[in-house]
Amino acid sequence: MNAYKKYITITDPSQLILSDLPFQVGQRVEIIILAEDNPRAEISKKLRDLFDKTQLLPGVKDITEAEIEAEIEAYQRGE
């Protein structure tokens, strides 16, 4: 069996149009649709969700930029 791979972006989830395929009229083909994994998008979503949860923690909004900078500098000094 010969394989042909083509990447498209779904614009209408109710239909899929394939064009310019390298097959002959009347040729029987098997269609398998695989969604492309996007681990970066998944990680980004998880990180955004974590930030949202973190922002809701009590006392987080009371922390100043100066305190954050001091904490970072202390960490960089190994304290």
Q: Domains of the chain: which residue ranges? A: 39-76
Question: Cα torsion for 12, 34, 3, 40, to the nearest 10°?
Answer: 100
Q: Is the dihedral of CA 66, 67, 69, 74 positive or negative?
A: positive
Summarised one tens digit per residue, pLDDT across range 22-45 is 999 999 999 999 988 888 888 999
pLDDT of residue 37: 81
Residue 77 has pLDDT above 90, yes or no: yes
Q: Can you give the pTM of this predicted structure?
A: 0.42
User: Comparing C-alpha atoms, which of 65, 67, 59, 62 is closest to residue 75?
Assistant: 67
Q: How far is CA 39 from each of CA 19, 30, 66, rounded to the nearest angstrom?
A: 28, 28, 34
pLDDT at 1 over 80: no
CA angle, 3 then 17 then 36, to 5°: 55
Split at pLDDT 50, 70, 90, the class of 15 is very high
Torsion sign over Cα 68, 73, 76, 78: negative
The reported pLDDT for the residue numbered 50 is 94
